[in-house]
Amino acid sequence: MDTTQRTDQQRSADRRRRELLEAADRVVLRDGPQASMNAIAAEAGITKPILYRHFGDKGGLYAALATRHTDALLDSLRAALDAPADRRERVEATLDTYLAAIEARPQVYRFLMHPAEGGGPGDQGFDVGKHSAPLLRRMGEELAQVIEERLDLGPGGQQLARVWGHGIVGMMHAAGDWWLGERPCSRAELVRSLADLLWGRLAAVADRVGGPGF
């Protein structure tokens, strides 16, 4: 097989994988955590063994969907952090970007973060919880890198940036999870309250080093 044939086959495989993930997205938007491999295969117009051939099992499909959605969310968070606004506004915009994303697609969020009771049909034993922790860790590391790049934290700055990155992601996840379930206040009110919690130390660092800051 020559290089051109291999390239064409790879493009075809990549296109087919995207189509299957889009079918999975449609089912997740409809069924949330109860989305099953049977339903996804039916939506894609294939049999479940073919779906397994592409992703291995529901864990493999979950990982592919998590990467797809996490990449998009991280791009949005970086854009909010880099927006031409003052420091406090960027902090609020970043928090709002995360909350807006989970509010816009709550079924996707629940699929990624919450195991269904007993799993979907044919998916008994699948534990979403053990897969969601790496997703949160990745977000924490990515945010830590952004903080380290944008703030001069002095000696031990890399470790402090990682503490803050994971702490902020944990705060956003826990507060957002509670808010999405109970809706005790508006999104804007939650953003302001969380920004108040973060702002003291961030403002102090930015004022100390001068310049645009975080």
User: What is the CATH classification number for the domain harbouring 147?
Assistant: 1.10.357.10
Boundaries of domain holding 101:
3-209
User: Does the residue 151 lie in any domain?
Assistant: yes
- Asked whether the beta carbons of 79 and 101 are under 8 A apart, the reply is no
Q: What is the mean pLDDT of residues 93-110?
A: 92
Q: What is the pTM of this model?
A: 0.78
Determine, yes or no, domain membership for 214: no
pLDDT, residue 119, reads: 52
Q: What is the mean pLDDT of residues 195-210?
A: 68
User: Stretch 113-120: mean pLDDT, rounded?
Assistant: 59
Average pLDDT over the chain reads 83
DSSP count for the chain of H helices, then E strands: 9, 0
pLDDT greater than 90 at residue 121: no
Residue 98's pLDDT is 94
pLDDT band at 68 (very low <50, low <70, confident <90, very high): confident
pLDDT at 104: 93
| Between residues 57 and 165, the one the model is more confident about | 165
Reduced to 3 states (helix: H, G, I; strand: E, B; else coil), residue 105 is coil
User: Is residue 79 included in any domain, yes or no?
Assistant: yes
- The answer to whether residue 213 scores a pLDDT higher than 60 is no
Phi, psi at residue 127, to the nearest 5°?
-110, 100
CA 102 – CA 105 distance, rounded (Å): 5
* pLDDT in the model for residue 125: 44
pLDDT tier at 124 (50, 70, 90 boundaries)? very low
What is the domain count for the chain? 1
Q: What integer pLDDT is reported at residue 205 of this predicted model? A: 59
Mean pLDDT of 15-32: 92
Residue 101 inside a domain? The answer is yes
Confidence at residue 44, expressed as pLDDT on a 0 to 100 scale: 93
Band of the pLDDT at 5, cuts 50, 70, 90? low
Q: Does residue 91 contact residue 202 with C-beta atoms inside 8 Å?
A: yes
Q: Taking the CA atoms of the chain, what radius of gyration do you get in angstroms?
A: 20
